[in-house]
Amino acid sequence: MFQTTKMVAALMAIAFMGQSHFALASTKKALPSVAEAEKFIQTSEARLDKLGLSAQRAAWVYETHITDDTEAIAAQANEAALAASGEIAIAARRFNHVKLSADSQRKLKLLQLSLSLSDDQDREDYTRLSVQMNGAYGKGKYCRTPGDESSCLNLGQLEAILAKSRNPAEMKDAWLGWHQQSANYKESYAKYVEVSNKGARGMGFADTGALWRSQYDMPPEAFAAETERLWQQVKPLYDSLHQYVRLKLQQTYGKNEVPDAGPIPAHLFGNMWSQSWENLYPIVKPQATTASVDITDTLKQKQVDAKGMVRYAENFYTSLGMETLPKSFWEKSQLTKPRDREVVCHASAWDLDNLMDVRIKMCINPTTEDFLVIHHELGHIYYDLAYRKQPLLFKGGANDGFHEAIGDTVALSVTPNYLHQLGLLEQVPDPSQDVGVLLDRALQKVAFLPFAYLVDQWRWKVYAGEVKPKDYDKVWWELREKYQAVKRPAAAQDNGFDAGAKYHVASDTPYSRYFIATILQFQLHRALCREAGYVGPLNRCSIYQNKAAGKKFQAMLEMGASRPWNEALKAVSGEDQLDASAILDYFAPLKVWLDAQNKVLMQ
């Protein structure tokens, strides 16, 4: 569930240096003029736009039709675009002391948040390894009988086993089968880290992790402290949820599978990465709960196809006063898995021309989960459309967490009442049933927080050189046990690479954005509900059809990356600091219930 990095954003985050007139010019003119600086920015934006869009289209073709040829084409287009952005990043330093407008100064700063590799071989290795790992992940399969193609299962099939099975042995086999695949590109990843760090150091950063942490309008060490502060705010809520789930899993599988204390085996959470636990709801739901917000059966009964699923989500955004999706969206998006070729099914949103050619790439199934995912992905699309009139370098989220939070903010308004209005839920549960609804959502949102936090904790250590390849798995599981209280279901493999079994590691997509987005979406939800004039439990608020909330939301989206993220946040909420109190407010009734249940179950 992520927006494929728009090429503009990618060029600001990953750049390479080659020989050019830009780089040479920096040594010839010590005191450039304002006019020269403005001309440089204008020319650079036009160049990045042209090359970036070519690379973006090549990436789309590759991810929707994985072959050796499309892999090579994507790598070549990406390398050409990134080489140009590297030249620009280095050349931009020349203008750092020129007194420019606030907008121009911000653009220069964004241009320099980049990697820089001067060696042709390094540049080639970086792009080749990146595309190679992404393709290996997309093509990954677990064959129960080596050499027997009929026994092979792809990630979607393995995830279905974890979601539906209640056989620990079967779940463990599926979990281990998928995680063994990533060892195939561990060596590539280690080399990729080396090359990436060269690029970060070339731009004055300690390593790639420090570069990533510099993307948030604050020093790298300040961002690390900020994420830790937010985690400590929400940790008590997670601990209560984890203890309750432990006790219910123990009732289901017994103490031989689920210990009284310590971490719980990862394969028992109904999800390949134990990052979302909603598939456990039938096991852990409150005994008195009879209502359900699962609309999977209804979607199937109504024969809602992939396009119909997207139409529901589009209707939510247009109900806020936003525009309809362009005709090309329906013509060019990949909404289902093709039968004739390999594709990357991982849901993503794409903006291929920085104007109106927006698409999603997904393999949609008529499930509650995909219904929510589509609302999320269209959040990316509507953000893209909202800031399309901004200059190129401002066509992006206020930070990458914002881009992830927009659709999830809308998904928080997918309440029982909203589903009832659509005819997808027969009855709106009585308020006395809210604990069940809150628990279901906590299994998705609260359970996700420590995983979203630790992925980059691990990568920051890897990029900083604190963790060598031989210790990848060791440190990965130390962090998972510390933050998630989850453990590997079997002894670690020799030369294993369990972190690489997560798409965002294989694709080198920063993950802190998802942690920030999870906190931010509740903060935005609370603010928009307030704007809509809603009074009542936060979990019952939906801004569906509220034009006042939609107007304020749209105004923030239109800002794009033109202002620091705290100004964008303030435009909606009146607050200029991330605050996890909104998530605590949202789940306050559940926290009371969980603590009471844990006391009873432990007796």
b/e sequence 86-116, b meaning 16+ C-beta within 10 Å = bbbbbbbebbeebebeeebebbbebbbbbbb
Q: Are 412 and 442 in contact (CB under 8 A)?
A: no
Which segments of 302-397 does DSSP mark as H helices, in order?
Answer: 306-319, 327-332, 368-386
Q: What share of the chain is helix, strand, coil (3-state, %, to 5)?
A: 65, 5, 30
Say which of 159, 377, 404, 531 is annotated catalytic.
377
Tell me, yes or no, if 504 is annotated catalytic.
Answer: yes
The pair of three-digit structure tokens given for residue 595, joined into one six-digit string: 């603590």
Helices 472-483 and 448-463 pack at an angle, to 10 degrees, of: 150
Helices (H) and strands (E) in the chain, counts: 27, 7
* Distance from C-alpha of 597 to C-alpha of 284, rounded to nearest angstrom: 11
Which segments of 500-564 does DSSP mark as H helices, in order?
Answer: 503-506, 512-531, 547-559
Residue with tokens 């129960």: 144
- 3-state SS, one letter per residue, for 475-510: HHHHHHHHHCCEECCCCCCCCCCHHHHCHHHHCCCC
Phi, psi of 153 (to 5 degrees): -125, 135
Q: Give the three-class secondary structure for 464.
A: coil
Tell me, yes or no, if 65 is annotated catalytic.
Answer: no
- What secondary structure does DSSP assign to 315-334, as a single string? HHHHHTTPPPPPHHHHHH-B
In order of 107, 276, 342, 353, 514, the CA distances from 449 in angstroms are 32, 9, 31, 33, 8
Say which of 267, 380, 504, 525 is annotated catalytic.
504
In order of 115, 117, 118, the CA distances from 122 in angstroms are 12, 7, 8
Q: Are 415 and 539 in contact (CB under 8 A)?
A: yes
* Distance from C-alpha of 46 to C-alpha of 41, rounded to nearest angstrom: 9
Residues 6+ apart with CB under 8 A from 188: 129, 132, 133, 136
Which secondary-structure segment (H or E) carries 28? Answer: none
* Distance from C-alpha of 93 to C-alpha of 114, rounded to nearest angstrom: 12
Q: Which residues are catalytic?
A: 377, 504
